[in-house]
Every structure is written in structure tokens, then in C-alpha cells.
Amino acid sequence: MNSSRTGITRSRRGNPRRSGFTLVETALATVIIGTGVLAMISAQQVLLEKNNWSTMANTATLLGNEIREMTLNLPRHDPVTGESYWGPEEDEYSLEDYDDIDDFDGPGGGLVFSAELGNGPVNASRSVISDMSGWEQVVMVSNVDAFDILTPLEDASTDMMRVEVIIRYQGDSDPTPTEMTRLSWITPK
């Protein structure tokens, strides 16, 4: 009986291998797990940035389409003055008075609707949309040749008009506005 106890004792003493991880194995596992966590955080940040850009681009497209809907059923020229007067007539002081497409051709760089100016952005029913600071709608109307719709011509010189709406956004930390989208369409006679 004594010999069997010695055999058991020897087998316990004969296997000096310990269970657990070495310091190198632990450090390597920490590096791998840490890299994975950082990669997930980075991916989440990129996802949030893309989601923000997508939301902004969608808002810009909606703002551009508001102008298109507003002008959809308007005649090209004023029903009273016809093609003899380009732009808003003398008795048209505000957006509510605009009754034809050429009224929307603003001076120089286009007609601007923005929260900063206090007149926009506007929706299709010509109402100012609240809580849209930083957004602006720029509307330009130009005459174009039927065979070259990209080159603007002199006002009231052709039967084709191109309406172009540029939507810009300037955040609080942005030095200049960023063009978010540009919509254009042709209004034939």
C-alpha cells in the first residue's frame, strides 16, 4: 500500500507544468482585444459622420424640391406685363406677390431665402420654415437655347427658361456655406 501512495505522489510531482497564461500571451491578447475595440469605435464614428451627411443631403434635396413645387404651376411671364418685364414687377415686393417664374430671378447671384436674412428657407406654400438656421435656398432663372440648355442667354430672349436652385448649409463652426445640392429644370413655353 505504501508503494501505491508513492506512485500517486510521484505523478503529482512529476508534472511540473502549471495552468494559466504567460505574461507574453496576456499582453498579446490585450493588444488584439484593444485593437478590435478601437476598430469598432472608429467604425461607429465613420457611420455617424456618414449618417449626418446623409441627413443633410436629404434635407437639402427637400428644400430644393420645395422651390420646384412652388413654381410648378406658375406661368413663365407675368399675365399682365408679359415678356416686356423681367424679374419682379414694381408692385411685387415680397414672395407672396410673385406670380410668374421670372419673378424668382434675383439680382446677380440669385434670389436668396435664408434664416439669416429672415425670409427663409421657404416651403412650397411660401411659408418660412422655422428652425432651419444655417440653410439657404438660392434661386436663379435664366433663358436658354433649346439646343444648348447649359449656356444662359439674355433675359426674355428665348422661349425656354432654366430654373436653378442651389441649397447651401453653413454650420456654426463652418467659415463658409457648403453647397449641399443643386437642382435645375427647364420650363418650356
Confidence band for 23, pLDDT divided at 50, 70 and 90: very high
Confidence band for 4, pLDDT divided at 50, 70 and 90: low
> Does the pLDDT of residue 26 top 60, yes or no?
yes
* 182 Cβ contact list (under 8 Å, min separation 6): 64, 164, 165, 166, 167
Which pLDDT score, from 0 to 100, does residue 127 have? Answer: 95
d(CA 21, CA 30): 12
Confidence band for 6, pLDDT divided at 50, 70 and 90: low
Which pLDDT score, from 0 to 100, does residue 11 have? Answer: 52
**Which grid coordinates are listed for 3?**
508503494
CA dihedral 133, 74, 180, 166 (to 10 degrees): -100
Q: Residues 96-124: pLDDT tens digits?
A: 999 999 999 877 778 999 999 999 899 99
What is this structure's pTM? Answer: 0.76
> Does the pLDDT of residue 25 top 70, yes or no?
yes
Of the given ranges (1-5, 94-98, 179-183), which has the lowest mean pLDDT?
1-5
